[in-house]
Amino acid sequence: MITLIGSTTLGIISERRRQRSLGGPDKFVKSGSLLRLTCVLRRSTEAPVYVFWYHEERMINYDLGRGVKVRHARYSSELVVAEAHKSDSGNYSCVPSNARPANINVHILNGEEPAAMQHGSKSFSISLTSRRRHRHLEERLFVFFLLAITFALQIR
């Protein structure tokens, strides 16, 4: 599946099946294996100035200590984790300068069967999305609350 942004197409291609992802598909990787994600920008009029990779909400382009390498080509970017561990599980985002992000959920398995996890993967994705929306709502309410207090104190 592809995410369409105007005339620009962006997707994360999973190494084995060469599947393109749209907003949260799942990739299953055996613990200790190589994790490779490729972000491809198609039908773009210009190459991105930068492409940032995120694991959850942390930018990981320069996490050399974790064995992360990022390679950029004109219209693609590749993220490689040399030896994936359970802590590498989670949501990965490819964020180019000139397009919307593409996401994929990575599950690092310690001998579990992917088929058993696929049944629950949609609820995991929805749960993660719901938590993020909830957090953003909490942040907005907090800012609104602070502004209301500040306004109330200024009226007195």
pLDDT (tens digit per residue) in 66-80: 889 999 999 999 999
| Per-residue pLDDT reduced to its tens digit, 136-155 | 566 666 666 667 777 778 88
Between CA 8 and CA 20 the distance in angstroms is: 14
Which helix (H) or strand (E) segment holds residue 35: the answer is strand 35-42
Residue 3 above 80 pLDDT? no
In this predicted structure, what is the pLDDT of residue 137?
61
- For 38, phi then psi, to 5°, come to -120, 130
CA neighbours closer than 13 Å in the CB half-sphere of residue 59: 8
| Per-residue pLDDT reduced to its tens digit, 5-37 | 222 344 556 444 444 444 448 899 999 999 999
Between CA 112 and CA 31 the distance in angstroms is: 10
| Per-residue pLDDT reduced to its tens digit, 95-120 | 999 988 999 999 999 876 665 444 44
- For 56, phi then psi, to 5°, come to 60, -115
Tell me the chain's radius of gyration from C-alpha atoms: 19
